[in-house]
Amino acid sequence: GTQKNAQVLTLGDVHIPPESLAEDFRRLLDEALESDFQVVIQDEVIEAHKFMLVARSRYFASCICTSGMVEAQAGRLVIPDSAAAMTAAAFRAFLRFLYAGDELSGVLAPHTAMCLVDAASFYGLTNNRLKHHCELCVKDSFNEAHVLQLFEASSRLDVEGVRGMALDYIIANFHTVCKQPSLE
């Protein structure tokens, strides 16, 4: 018979090991093997691969595949410091998601997650998975003491999904939120 679980596929006496594509792509990114594109953010150079950027992001596909673009010719994109919502740490997490679909909801700080909600839209990802993971990460971090800061940051960064969830939390917990020392 055929059995399948998360680890091993068994077909009769043949045991097929689990696939390692995500792990292999993660190693490609982590070790910068044969990288051919650079992203510079906050004076940090992050190595990447054109094929992955083009496959997963409409923004990068347009930027890299349009030969007249400065980025395509230089093999480098400089993200200006004025793009305050994006940090080097957030961009590295963004790339880990692009390369390996890493589950980020348990490892991101709420502010980084908000940066990535915005990045998922700006960079035109091929699906909304990153956005939803990040929104859940931020929502899971809500508490009476910090929800107002997250509401303000989501308004400033124009992250509507998080802003709406924060507002719902504030309304549902109004009596405890309004008693926070920061409001006195």
Domain that holds residue 59: 10-141
CATH number at residue 82: 3.30.710.10
When divided into structural domains, the chain yields a total of: 1
Question: Does some domain include residue 1?
Answer: no
Q: DSSP string covering 90-148, please?
A: HHHHHHHHHHH----TTT--HHHHHHHHHHHHHTTBSSSHHHHHHHHHHHHT--TTTHH
Note down pLDDT in tens along the chain; length 184 residues: 444 455 667 777 888 888 889 899 999 999 999 999 999 999 999 999 999 999 999 999 998 988 778 888 889 999 887 765 688 888 999 999 999 887 776 678 887 888 888 788 889 988 888 888 888 888 888 888 888 888 888 887 777 888 899 999 999 999 998 888 776 6
Question: Does some domain include residue 26?
Answer: yes
Question: Does some domain include residue 56?
Answer: yes
Question: Does some domain include residue 48?
Answer: yes
